Structure 1
Amino acid sequence: MKLHQFRALVAIADSGSIRNAARNTDYSPAAITKAVRELEEEVGVTLIVRETTGITLTQAGQVLLEHARFTMAAIARARDEMEAFVSQRKRTLKVAVPSWLGMTLLGEIIARFQTLMPETQLEFFESFPSLTLPKLRDGTLDLSIGRSYSPAPAEFNQLSLFSTGYAVVARAGHPLASCRSLQELAGASWILSRNYKGEDGAFQAAFQEYCDRCAPRIHISHSSAVANSLIARTDLLSLMPWPMAELLVAKDGLCVLPIRDALADAEITITYRRGVPLSAPAKCFIEATIAVIRESEHSTDADKRRFFHTVECLLKDKDNIPAEG
């Protein structure tokens, strides 16, 4: 398999046709066609299907596309690393973080990171497992901080940072604000970051049982800003990690329902690809994160004390960034 073949496959997947793929690369339509045909001959399966509406990838093509994207991203990262030595060109580190971390410790993490890596540009994404996992796999993301993946995919390393519980949150004055059990919320509508149907393991087992029994109306938001705005302005309920719930109760006048059902804790980790060398900026960011957490855990600052009342720190004295990914 050759890089130009992978590049042709990615271009077709992104553009939907041979002609558009050629426009988006420096290859001719004939060269794109030849590259994909040679790739199909090498792997022995059909990768693309030509239809009247354009080109689609077969199941095998989709699987190989994931490897192609990751390979190209890895080469781009290697090129960036080498060019940085030659020209000190600005590098980019792409990190997914939960919004509550952005509202608490992230500022200090960035300050420490920039002191050590002033020429590196940081690009942040909001951390939702359903969105970050594919980006980690194809190399679009370097690191992700968020709820651990369970069971842990074999291709990732996960460094545990926190454990935190979940709260049921509503606008102040919500008619269900005094409910003490999930079953009392049978007629409620929800805005969540994911669909809990089919959740793995025991995570949020109580909420899953509630969903199975009461079949509530659930809307999905992949933006915490959108979700929080809807919670504050409608009768939608939500599940939130306690750090976010505490912040919004104080900031936006929301309330936490006194639910007595046991809502399972979630483990918050830094996740990155196993077996792939971490770039210097990625190592520096992880080290900065660990250092800020350790320094903040026993701080006398009121905001930090409030934050650490909502989480359990899982970092151990021996936890350090490994030499390799």
Structure 2
Amino acid sequence: MAQRIAGRIANRLKLRQLRLLIAVGRHGSIQNAAREMNVSQPAATKMIQDLELDFAVQLFTRTNRGVIATPAGEVLIRHCKLIFAQIANAAEELDDLSEGNSGRIVVGTLLAASSHLLPKAIETMLATRPGVALRVVEGTNEMLMPALRNGEIDMVVGRLPSQRHRQELEQIVLFEEHILAVVGPDHPLARRADLRFSDLEAFGWILPPAQTTLRRQIDQFFVGQDLYVPPMMVESISYLTNRTLIQNNELIGFMPAHVAEQDIALGLLAALSWKVPFGTGPVGVTVREKDNLSPAADGFLTALRQVANAI
């Protein structure tokens, strides 16, 4: 059935219909989407009905306030966004070729990759392909994975999610990471040995945002410590912000070991003598389809693997 539908759609589908579909999903209104597309509401309604006939599914349900995408409508809207993102990527690559560049890559990064893995991979890539145009977008999985699915970015580099954000995506493990509890060099606990969690309880903490895997692990650990609640807490994924706060205040932060490694060696931070009982996990790359990466993105994946092997 799927092949029959695909064959029929290939001969009938128009990009204008897909643009309208995205607009209806965004506005929750066929009337407002029609106005954006500069078509009449009856024409817009007919285009949606034709899509429903072609795909043999209902795409929207009507409510008193407009229309809501059905599960089938949400799936089609997501794929339509990907189609337009791929068209935009193709146009950008053609522009790059005409300007003498050798490709374009958009990389999403999490904290576990931003301080060492990613910069080294970029250096490796530019040494062999200096004409590549590369853009880095920093954020959490909640921000980056939808952009990856929609084709706005080519890959996400960092700690791999264990369960969430894995649908329709491929994960490539680069290495295993562990977490350190770090403080400023003048912190009261900086030079104490054989610390227990009870020694840490009186201090404030810098924690990752609630939607991250590491934060969920931290919260579970705190619950197991008699429902411990920090006396002070800051949520932040900004390494520079966290480092400054830790250096200038009696705060404790969690950082991936290789992220904090250089600052610890320079004496800017100190690792606590307390073995963090959570946070070990894989760091790697998440892509839509590994076999369909552009030549530039595939080359960058190779650079990431080379740097990860050195780490």
TM norm structure 1: 0.69
The residue identity in structure 2 corresponding to 1:164 is E
Change (3 A) 1:89 1:27: farther
Change (3 A) 1:56 1:89: farther
Match for residue 274 of structure 1 among 267, 289, 293: 289
Which moved further from structure 2: 222-231 or 163-172?
A: 222-231
Change (3 A) 1:90 1:287: closer
Query: How far apart are 1:78 and its partner, in Å?
Result: 4.1
Match for residue 145 of structure 2 among 108, 133, 137: 133
- Share of identical aligned residues, percent? 27
Match for residue 206 of structure 2 among 185, 191, 194: 191
Query: How far apart are 1:142 and its partner, in Å?
Result: 0.5
Equivalent in the alignment of 2:133 = 121
Rounded Cα–Cα distance in structure 2 between residues aligned with 1:163 and 1:246: 15
Contact 1:127/1:146 (8 A) holds in 2: no
Equivalent in the alignment of 2:168 = 155
Contact 2:110/2:141 (8 A) holds in 1: no
Query: How far apart are 1:136 and its partner, in Å?
Result: 1.7
Match for residue 121 of structure 2 among 109, 116, 120: 109
Match for residue 259 of structure 2 among 244, 266, 269: 244
Match for residue 167 of structure 1 among 170, 176, 180: 180
Structure 2 portions without partners, runs of 5+:
1-8
Contact 1:191/1:237 (8 A) holds in 2: yes
Deviations 1:184-212 (A, max 9, x none): 44454433223279x59xx9857623245
Query: How far apart are 1:282 and its partner, in Å?
Result: 0.4
Change (3 A) 1:230 1:8: farther
Query: How far apart are 1:107 and its partner, in Å?
Result: 4.1
Match for residue 104 of structure 2 among 92, 98, 103: 92
Query: How far apart are 1:161 and its partner, in Å?
Result: 1.6
Deviations 1:191-236 (A, max 9, x none): 3223279x59xx9857623245334255432433333333334444
Query: How far apart are 1:94 and its partner, in Å?
Result: 0.5
2:18 partner SS: helix
Rounded Cα–Cα distance in structure 1 between residues aligned with 2:72 and 2:199: 47
Q: CA RMSD in A?
A: 3.9
Structure 1 portions without partners, runs of 5+:
298-307, 309-325
Query: How far apart are 1:166 and its partner, in Å?
Result: 0.3
Superposition map of 1:155-234 within 5 A: 155-175=168-188, 177=190, 178=192, 180-195=195-210, 208-212=220-224, 213-217=226-230, 219-234=234-249
The residue identity in structure 1 corresponding to 2:222 is Y
Query: How far apart are 1:258 and its partner, in Å?
Result: 1.6
The residue identity in structure 2 corresponding to 1:167 is L
2:292 partner SS: coil
Deviations 1:292-312 (A, max 9, x none): 444xx3xxxxxxxxxx4xxxx
Rounded Cα–Cα distance in structure 1 between residues aligned with 2:180 and 2:48: 51
Rounded Cα–Cα distance in structure 1 between residues aligned with 2:241 and 2:63: 39
Change (3 A) 1:118 1:55: farther
Query: How far apart are 1:244 and its partner, in Å?
Result: 1.9
Contact 1:73/1:140 (8 A) holds in 2: yes
Equivalent in the alignment of 1:321 = none
Number of aligned residues: 291
Contact 1:166/1:264 (8 A) holds in 2: yes
2:68 aligned with 1:68:
no
1:10 partner SS: helix
1:123 partner SS: strand
Contact 1:190/1:216 (8 A) holds in 2: no
Equivalent in the alignment of 2:4 = none
Rounded Cα–Cα distance in structure 2 between residues aligned with 1:89 and 1:27: 37
Which moved further from structure 2: 36-45 or 279-288?
A: 36-45
